[in-house]
């Protein structure tokens, strides 16, 4: 970025125009919007204040900070990592390179868990929930925030992910109802012998050979551990489904997010476990089968 041009910005409007142009030349996805987000982040403004501040002067220190963030974005670092957060289901979550950035499709997983839980249990029923693959905590902590009478456990092999999720739990004031467990998928829960009412997971599901073909914003910055689903993309679904008979309470709900073209195979794994009586498949907004829900009704 030519320093003299950036340093010659006199007000917020000029900074926005220059930043938008710079990101556009770098080929980012939405340069005008992302330029605004970066400038608002540096100036610590909400959108209303930002729009009202267009004629206001901008100082050299602010320009320097904006420049650093713009250069990171021009290198295709995800905007969420640059800003340090991502909105999910109406709440802001801390994100960092140690965790996968929550996607909009995963909000559908939350919606289906909440919907189907209401069909099985009363709204006041205290339930035990486990989430395999903590990440930022978006799934576990959203469910905790939506359902104050639920007790939740979440398992991740990454200590970095657990550390970030704990910060998010404190931010959302749900930490007292969530257990954070560092371990290898189902093993820590199997070791305790406990049974859960709801099992939810958005595990890594991209086949190993496809991971290297991902967009550079994903492959270059997001943790491979949170993306790579093994040779065929099903390794974690198999492990979870094989353990379902030992994990689920007599009446239970299982919900997965899956990748493109994976829904039928994962649904079959659930049925073959012998622990699931009914399976439902739901598409995302693009029409891709994305959410699998299974019932266990062995009362």
What percentage of residues in the chain have a pLDDT greater than 90?
89
Per-chain mean pLDDT for the chain: 94
Asked if 3-75 and 96-297 have one fold, the answer is no
**pLDDT given for residue 228 in this prediction:** 87
Does the annotation list 282 as a binding residue? no
Return the minimum-mean-pLDDT range out of 69-78, 180-189, 214-223, 282-291: 214-223
Give the CATH superfamily of 96-297. Vaccinia Virus protein VP39 (3.40.50.150)
* 203 annotated among ligand-binding-site residues: yes
Percent of the chain with pLDDT over 70: 97
Two tokens at 21?
């142009």
- Other beta carbons within 10 angstroms of residue 276's beta carbon come to 25
- 151 pairs with which residues across the strands? 128
**pLDDT exceeds 50 at position 279:** yes
Q: Is the pLDDT of residue 5 over 80?
A: no
Q: What is the pTM of this model?
A: 0.92
Domain ranges of the chain: 3-75, 96-297
**With 90 as the cut, is the pLDDT of residue 299 above it?**
no
Asked if residue 59 belongs to a known ligand binding site, the reply is: no
Is 102 flagged in the annotation as binding? Answer: no
pLDDT of residue 173: 98
pLDDT of residue 4: 43
Of 153, 155, 109, 152, give the one whose Cα is nearest residue 134: 155
> 108 by DSSP, 3-state: which?
helix
The tokens for 186 are 């189902």
Give the helix/strand (H/E) hosting 283.
strand 278-283
Report the pLDDT value the prediction gives residue 288, as an integer from 0 to 100: 97
| Fold of the domain spanning 3-75 | Helicase, Ruva Protein; domain 3 (1.10.8)
pLDDT value at position 219? 85
Query: Is the pLDDT assigned to residue 242 strictly greater than 60?
Result: yes
Give the pLDDT confidence score for residue 3 in this predicted structure: 44
Q: State residue 8's pLDDT score.
A: 65
Could you list the beta-strand ranges (E) of 69-185.
85-88, 91-94, 127-132, 150-156, 178-182
| Residue 259, annotated as binding a ligand | no
Residue range 29-73, pLDDT digits in tens: 899 999 999 999 999 999 999 999 999 999 999 999 999 999 999
Q: Which residues of 197-228 are buried (b: 16+ CB within 10 A; e: fewer)?
A: bbbbbbbbbbbbeebeeeeebbeeebbebbbb
What pLDDT shows up at residue 216?
84
Supply the pLDDT for residue 7: 57
Q: Does the pLDDT value for residue 253 go beyond 70?
A: yes
Mean pLDDT check: name the lowest of 36-45, 99-108, 221-230, 241-250. 221-230
Mean pLDDT of 263-290: 97
Q: Which of 161, 251, 166 is nearest to 202 (CA)?
A: 161
Distance from the Cα of residue 201 to its chain's centroid: 11
Tokens 């794994």 belong to residue: 269
How far apart CA 232 and CA 88 sit, in angstroms, is: 29
Q: Kind of pairing, strands 127-132 and 150-156?
A: parallel
192 is in an annotated binding site: no
Q: Would the annotation count 274 as a binding residue? A: no
Q: What is the pLDDT of residue 6?
A: 57
208 annotated to bind ligand:
no
* pLDDT tens-digit readout, 131-158: 999 999 999 999 999 999 999 999 999 9
């Amino acid at each position: 970025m030519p320093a003299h041009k950036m340093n010659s910005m006199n007000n917020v409007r000029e900074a926005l125009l220059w930043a938008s142009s710079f990101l556009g030349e770098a080929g980012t996805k939405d340069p005008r919007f992302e330029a605004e987000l970066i400038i608002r982040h540096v100036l610590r403004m909400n959108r209303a204040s930002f729009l009202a501040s267009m004629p206001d002067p901008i100082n050299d220190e602010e320009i320097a900070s904006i420049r650093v963030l713009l250069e990171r974005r021009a290198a295709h670092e995800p905007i969420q990592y640059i800003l340090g957060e991502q909105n999910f289901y109406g709440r802001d979550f801390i994100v960092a390179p140690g965790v996968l950035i929550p996607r909009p499709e995963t909000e559908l997983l939350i919606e289906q868990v909440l919907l189907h839980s209401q069909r099985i249990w009363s709204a006041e029923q205290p339930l035990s929930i486990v989430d395999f693959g903590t990440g930022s905590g978006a799934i576990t902590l959203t469910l905790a925030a939506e359902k104050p009478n639920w007790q939740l456990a979440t398992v991740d092999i990454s200590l970095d992910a657990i550390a970030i999720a704990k910060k998010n739990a404190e931010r959302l004031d749900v930490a007292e109802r969530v257990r954070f467990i560092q371990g290898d998928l189902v093993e820590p829960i199997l070791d305790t012998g406990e049974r859960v009412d709801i099992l939810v997971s958005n595990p890594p599901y991209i086949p190993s050979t496809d991971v290297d073909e991902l967009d550079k914003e994903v492959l270059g910055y997001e943790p491979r551990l949170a993306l790579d689903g093994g040779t065929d993309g099903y390794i974690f679904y198999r492990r979870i489904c094989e353990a379902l008979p030992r994990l689920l309470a007599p009446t239970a709900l299982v919900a997965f997010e899956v990748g493109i073209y994976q829904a039928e195979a994962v649904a079959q794994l659930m049925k073959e476990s012998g622990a699931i009586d009914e399976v439902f498949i739901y598409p995302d907004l693009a029409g891709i089968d994305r959410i699998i829900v299974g019932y266990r009704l062995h009362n």
